[in-house]
Structure 1
Amino acid sequence: MSNYDDDSYFQPANTNNPEAVTYCPNDNPFITFAGRQWWINYHWTQNQGTYVWEPFQSIFDPTIIQNGADGIQLQILPNADPTKAWRTSEVVLMDKLGYGKYLITARADGGSFSDLDPNAVFGVFLYQYSDAPPSNGPNVHREIDFLEVLRNAGGNAQFTLQPYDAYDPHPVEFFKIPSGTSMITIINDWYVDQGGNRIAAYSLYSGDWSFENPPPAADLIAQWAPAQNSTFATLIPDHTDTSCERLHLNLWLMHGAAPQGPQSVTVTRFEFQPAS
């Protein structure tokens, strides 16, 4: 690929495309949350509209994303036409923030993250649509999966790096969010240490916390330090003046498998502290 770090997918492909924005409320492909702009029709294409094939097989519908006083509500809802795919949600931060500490709080509107439908996935991750140059390493999309709430062999949630399937053991940390956990705080610190090593420090806490009111150690659910594994350390991406990884928040269905009923997660806070 010759166009490394190509950011043209964002503008004018979808955000300035008259056909693409008609899928958005009031023809506006952006919402404002935490003082920043978030893009809501990321998955639109000329041939498929908002429908996406594997692994989603679902419709990423900008019209079901609710932006209210509590935050961004991501939903999974049935289609009015029962023969069509369920509708799912994703928002993408327009700012390319790079190295620093990311904090996200979220509420399981159904009661508990442990009760999220087995076919549903709540994801918080950095991702770059285009390929990074070879100097970045094997993680070609600069993907850092801060958190994925989904059923797996090791529990109901995981921290991950990519490419997942290229390594054995896989670059993943499985864990279980305890029953009754309705609020979570996700913190991921991505930086370069004094020795020039890339670091991604994953942490998940129960409760509603912020940088001003940090989570206590007693509320820690899981943490992961992949750089301690020399193979996994090579998968932690870099950030450069031309890189274009952005933060994604989504709620979707694995391979389009229908849930037992509608699902909803509200992201209530986003904070960022640049690396010093």
Structure 2
Amino acid sequence: MANYDDDSYFQPSNTKNPEALKYCPGGNPFITFAGRQWWINYHWTQRSGTWADEPFKSIFDPKIIQRTDKGVRLQILPSDQPNVWRTSELVLMDKLGYGEYLVTAEADGGSFSNLDANAIFGAFLYQYSEAPPSNGPNIHREIDFLEVLRSGVGNAQFTLQPYDNNPHPVNFFKIPPGTNAITIYNHWYKDPGFNLVSYFACYAGKWSLGNLPPREAAFAWWMPSNQEGIKRLIPNHTDTSCERLHLNLWLMHGAAPSGPQSVTVTGFEFQPAS
């Protein structure tokens, strides 16, 4: 029988394991940002160290995650191994549940619309273990607030899982050319009728929960709770849920970019659902 909502992957396998800590700057698996602790060696395993196989095929290297005066810089850099790149991921230690999530970020190369074709910047909720069957088909409680990636349809998307659901639970859009800074917003809650809602929006520029513009000012927004066949993929949150916010910059199938890439996460805010 599966151990549903099993949170043991976080403690002590990576955050207190001396072998894992060797890969972290100063032996510290955490970085402090926006008043919270973020885990930087999520992908480490006893078998393969910081190497992660498909779909990443790269090294998730905690040592290239940099704390700067602007925030936290996620990078994609070459490694000393042929055709293997180093990539970055942050995982929030707090399990926040329902509420309003807001992330601000800057494309260090100039514009999110020009991020390398093989690079993906992601902001998403995910739990490592499976949720119980009562949660529905989204077994990892995954909500992809934003994935910046180049495709034939656009250069970004909002997504629920599983992706192979019919219809596909995805909303494609284009980040306007020249957009250096973005604000990612997701409101996950239960409405008065106890229906699950996940409302997605992405804005140009840096905003906060206190001054967020109306959705008409966003360059993209999506409310999958209005779509039959998709709204059932919005996960629930329970006392045993262990979904956490992830922020990453990586390469699909390890495909080499044209050169180093970096995105700086400049802010994070959360307001619990009332």
User: TM-score band (shorter)?
Assistant: over 0.9
Partner residue, 2:64: 64
Distance 2:96 2:171 in 1: 25
Partner residue, 2:193: 195
Query: C-alpha displacement at 1:185, in angstroms?
Result: 0.2
Partner residue, 1:145: 144
Q: Tell me the number of residue pairs that the alignment of Structure 1 and Structure 2 aligns.
A: 274
Partner residue, 2:235: 237
Change over 3 Å in CA distance of 1:218–1:4 after alignment to 2: closer
Distance 2:83 2:29 in 1: 24
Distance 1:41 1:215 in 2: 35
**Secondary structure of 1:9 counterpart:** coil
The percent identity for this pair of structures is: 71
TM-score, normalising length: structure 1: 0.97
Query: C-alpha displacement at 1:74, in angstroms?
Result: 0.2
Distance 1:31 1:91 in 2: 9
Partner residue, 1:11: 11
**Secondary structure of 1:13 counterpart:** coil
Distance 2:215 2:52 in 1: 40
Q: Cα RMSD between the aligned structures? A: 1.0
1:42-57 counterparts in 2 under 5 A? 42-57=42-57
User: Where does structure 1 lack aligned partners over 5 or more consecutive residues?
Assistant: none
Partners of 2:166 and 2:229 within 8 A in 1 = no
Distance 1:235 1:16 in 2: 34
1:221-232 counterparts in 2 under 5 A? 221-232=219-230
Partner residue, 2:98: 99
Distance 2:136 2:107 in 1: 35
Partners of 1:207 and 1:219 within 8 A in 2 = no
Distance 1:211 1:170 in 2: 30
Query: C-alpha displacement at 1:151, in angstroms?
Result: 1.1
**Secondary structure of 2:32 counterpart:** strand
Partner residue, 1:156: 155
Change over 3 Å in CA distance of 1:69–1:11 after alignment to 2: same
**Secondary structure of 1:118 counterpart:** coil
Query: C-alpha displacement at 1:85, in angstroms?
Result: 0.8
Distance 2:189 2:166 in 1: 25
Query: C-alpha displacement at 1:218, in angstroms?
Result: 6.0
Partner residue, 2:260: 262
TM-score, normalising length: structure 2: 0.98
Partners of 1:59 and 1:85 within 8 A in 2 = yes
Query: C-alpha displacement at 1:212, in angstroms?
Result: 2.2
Distance 2:12 2:50 in 1: 17
Q: Tell me which moved more, 143-152 or 214-223.
A: 214-223
Q: Tell me which moved more, 234-243 or 72-81.
A: 72-81
Distance 2:215 2:171 in 1: 19
1:76-225 counterparts in 2 under 5 A? 76-81=76-81, 83-165=82-164, 167-215=165-213, 219-225=217-223
Query: C-alpha displacement at 1:84, in angstroms?
Result: 4.9
Query: C-alpha displacement at 1:255, in angstroms?
Result: 0.4
Query: C-alpha displacement at 1:10, in angstroms?
Result: 0.2
What is the identity, as a one-letter code, of the residue corresponding to 1:236?
Answer: I
Change over 3 Å in CA distance of 1:59–1:117 after alignment to 2: same
Query: C-alpha displacement at 1:152, in angstroms?
Result: 1.7
Distance 1:233 1:218 in 2: 22
